[in-house]
Structure 1
Amino acid sequence: MKSNIHLIDDVGASIILSKLRKQALNPSMVRHYVSEMTAALTRHVLQRPEEGERIAVIIILRSGLAMADQFMDAFENTDDTVAYHLGLFREKESLRPIEYYNKLPAKDPEIRRAYVLDPVVATGGTATAAIDILKDWGVDHITFFSLLGSKQGLDRVADVWPEGTDIFVGAIDNVLDEEGYVQPGLGDIGDRLYGTNRAR
């Protein structure tokens, strides 16, 4: 495993993940378990900000929204944090990331570190695009936080900016199928979170 990939060993999170893998869950329960797993793993991911440091939390739309509240609530009341959103999705045929929303302002010089929230790293395309965007924005360090990733996708992400990025992940699955989904994985987590995978 690459040196900047950190596999979190947390028994509680592993139990939640086994529940989250069940494809029959309704969207409310998927959101519940994503929130619970985020809470269990966040304590392994967060580092206390330095004095005078402002922390940027980057939420990858749309699935990162399900991690945001639990993650943001883990900061202390005195911590200076700001949340921004990046809209990135994977095009179905090419599997390439498409950026559709980016409202990052001119970077505050007090923001040196960014946390990126995205529940699943599959091919790694979305994650690498987010890292490139934030590196160009001017942060010194990125902590990428996912609940689950494929080995192939995580290795790809780890190579984008190895000296400036740490990746924290709750579990790693070794197989990526032809459609770019992690196996056994969690399915299309964005669709599962919001019920958009169901036939109308």
Structure 2
Amino acid sequence: MQVQEILRTNSIANKFISQLRDVNIQKDRMRFRRNIERLGEIMSYELSKELNYQDNKVQTPLGESTISNPTNEVVICSILRAGLPLHQGILNYFDDAENSFISAYRHHPNNDEKFEILVEYLASPSLEGKTLILADPMLATGRSFCNVLKALETMGKPAKIHLVSVIGSLEGIEYLKKEFPENSKLWIATIDKELDSNGYIVPGLGDAGDLCYGGKMQH
């Protein structure tokens, strides 16, 4: 699996990541969601450079223009619920894509630090021969992405898989490299070095789902 880290080159994406991490700006949920959406747009632009293109003729009021347009059949799959604003950012650029939604959450059966990733809901079109974009803003252990990929196997085999994330850990990325096909690619804004004992990214930004949509009751 290839990895493309956006913040290796300075750009306006730095500002959006800075605001996402800032504990004071985080209190503005609308801005938090919008910054994730913006990063989804930035990474979609970069990702679009690797699609297949075909020349098309366009009639203008004054003549004819030839321009290459993407030919890939794209399916965007976001992991609920934190993936929704990232999904929207990607959809803003791939506006004719099909859409898939799946739930994946941490379940602590013994109410301690140990957890398992449960997938309980899936709505998806066929993925056979298509370009699959998996979206989840936080890549901690990597297990959510892997469990989602396994759950999607019944929907067909995509021709290419792209993963889009905002912040990830080195440990989680190394795990994905072992589990995902070699020709898949991860597009990520920035990478942090550590996970804490609870499997959260450090320094990270906290719980992206809660910061987007408010706290949740545990069950």
- What is the TM-score when the length of structure 1 is the normalising length? 0.85
Aligned partner of 2:41 among 14, 39, 42: 39
The amino acid of 2:200's aligned partner reads Y
Q: 1:48 — aligned with what?
A: 51
Equivalent residue runs for 1:106-117 within 5 Å:
107=126, 109=128, 111-117=129-135
CA displacement at 1:129 relative to structure 2: 1.1
Would you say the 8 A contact 2:162–2:184 is kept in 1?
A: yes
Distance 1:32 1:112, change over 3 A: closer
Q: Which residue of 2 aligns with 1:101?
A: 121
Residues of 1 paired with 2:16 and 2:72: CA distance? 33
Instruction: Identify which of 136, 159, 164 aligns with 2:178.
Output: 159
Q: Distance in 1 between matches of 2:167 and 2:182?
A: 22
Equivalent residue number for residue 83 of structure 1: 99
CA distance in 2, matches of 1:133, 1:49: 27
Tell me if structure 2 keeps the 8 A contact 1:55–1:112. yes
- Closer, same or farther in 2 for the Cα pair 1:113/1:40, shift >3 Å? closer
Rg comparison, structure with higher value = 2
Rounded Cα–Cα distance in structure 2 between residues aligned with 1:13 and 1:147: 10
Aligned length: 191
Shift of 1:11: 1.9
What secondary structure is seen at the aligned counterpart in 1 of 2:164?
A: strand
2:2 to 4, 12, 21: 4
Q: Is the 8 A contact 1:4 1:162 kept in 2?
A: no
- Give the direction of change, closer, same or farther, for the CA distance of 1:142–1:135 in structure 2 (3 Å limit): farther
- Residue 189 of structure 1, CA deviation: 0.5
> 2-side partners of 1:159 and 1:150: how far apart?
15
In structure 1, give the amino acid aligned to 2:105: F
Mapped to 1, the partners of 2:183 and 2:153 lie a distance apart of 8
1:197 is displaced (CA, Å) by 6.2
User: AA paired with 1:12?
Assistant: I
Q: CA–CA distance in 2 between the matches of 1:193 and 1:121?
A: 16
| 2:134/2:162 contact within 8 Å kept | yes
Name which of 162, 182, 199 aligns with 1:180: 199
User: Matches of 1:22 and 1:189 in 2, distance apart?
Assistant: 13
Gaps of 5+ in 2: 55-70
> Alpha-carbon deviations, 1:9-30, whole Å to 9, x = none?
3521122111110123222221
Task: Call closer, same or farther: CA 1:17–1:31 in 2, change over 3 Å.
Answer: same
In the aligned structure 2, how far is the partner of 1:159 from the partner of 1:58?
Answer: 21
> Alpha carbon RMSD of aligned pairs, Å?
2.2
Structure 2 CA distance for aligned equivalents of residues 197 and 20 of structure 1: 20
- In structure 2, how many angstroms separate the alpha carbons of the residues matched to 1:183 and 1:22? 14
Shift of 1:112: 2.1
- 2:152 corresponds in structure 1 to 134
Q: CA deviation at 1:53?
A: 3.9
Aligned: 1:118 with 2:136:
yes
Taking only the aligned residue pairs, the percentage that are identical comes to 24
- Separation (CA, whole Å) in 1 of partners of 2:53 and 2:150: 24
The equivalent of 1:146 in structure 2 is: 165
Q: d(CA) in 1 for partners of 2:150 and 2:180?
A: 8
